[in-house]
Structure 1
Amino acid sequence: MRFLFFDSSSSNLFLAVRNGERTCFMQFSGDDKHGSSLAPCIDSIMGQVSLRPEDLDFIGCGIGPGSLTGVRIGMATAKGLCYPHETPLLPICSLDLVASQMAHQERIVIRRARAGYYYWRKYRASHDCKVIPDSEPSFSSVESICSALEESDSFLFVDGRFDQDDFPSIEWFLASSPSADAVLHIIDAALEDIGPKPFREVQPLYLQRSLAEDNWDKRHGNESAKDL
């Protein structure tokens, strides 16, 4: 099996590639540089296992939720690579990469979206280290997430920057970067569960509108309605 996978939805850029028995994993930190770093990283990691884009059986991509800019960069790059050869695209929820840690416990993984709001997903405990989602990815207020925590035995697993004052009375754990083995296991599981899809059908998991869109509506919403 030959594939390329990458996720640019957070401050860390993750890449994995497999060419038969040869695998390679790469991590790059710097969320303000993904736009200029992703393509060179892809060239580098594919060169290490002697792969070309036309050789790939599929491309895997983290579709979010996370940084809106980072998700756009990843999706645009993935579809650009898929287009010339109609390469199938395997979509993977970016929160699943974080959830690969401490899989033996029920947990809610959160990632900051904007002030007072987080992306999150709940996961079941697993004794074989599998990532088993127990809810759909969501975009919710701090209050909603606290309610979900109170109604379950889950603990809070935090990815990246967040405001500790948002969860003053809740014990939380800070996520570390997923291991290469964890990323490869998640890719293998996604292959079994959903499989690669025609790349035109794969959509990003934004889950929220950007602040620019909200500000545009505030300034021009009434004018747009009149034009209609």
Structure 2
Amino acid sequence: MSDEEEATCSVGGEEEEAATCSVGGEEEELEEPERPSAWTSGWDDESNDVEADPDPHATPEREILWACENGKQSVVEEILKEHPEAVGATDSDGYTPLHRAAYSDFPDIVKVCEYPKVYLLDTPGVMFPKIKDMVTGLKLALAATIKDHLVGEDIIADYLLYWLNSCGNHSYVEHLGLSEPTDNIQHLLLTAAARNNWLRKARDHTGVQTIPDVIQCAAKFIRAFREGKYGPVMLDDLSDIEEQQVIK
């Protein structure tokens, strides 16, 4: 093979990381392909940047998106007084005012209540990695912010039963076809599943048996709560706040 036909590739030293290719003695620099990080969010990724609105004040919907992204809380409040429907505005990339305020780190804009302080936050499809205690985790699961199977339908149902009973709410008795309230989740699930014909096939040493489907029953119990079948239920204990208001 002649010198002109021979091709070799080399990578520069530590100071120069660009790759070069030598063909017949002539070196040509090769561009390193861009490798976007797997952890780059859609908001921060320059290749998927949100286009700036050339006229953000043209409509209430466009203005609230601009105001939330730039932390203009007073502007947001004025817009929502006159045009409350603007809270559901979206830009060409599907971002809402809530998205823009959360991504731009303006928590005061997503505060929905001053006392007690309540914030409405949004994450890009990622669950917050740390839950401070088990009770908080169960409340989040019951409110459907964590997938049921990750916690366990029977465990979520057990917490729901405890909370309904502690509030004196026994509306589940009629809904599930029970004869009386109970604080035993296994008794509730077995009885309700049998009475409502929520059954499944199971195999044991004697063969295939039809047994109550307690997981299906738990899922229906939880779904009924989320659909409001047991009335409005407050999962947080506000007794301390109510006492402080009375003192004031």
Give TM-score scaled by structure 1 length.
0.24
Higher relative contact order (CA 8 A, sep 6+): 1
Give TM-score scaled by structure 2 length.
0.23
Larger of the two Rg values belongs to structure = 2
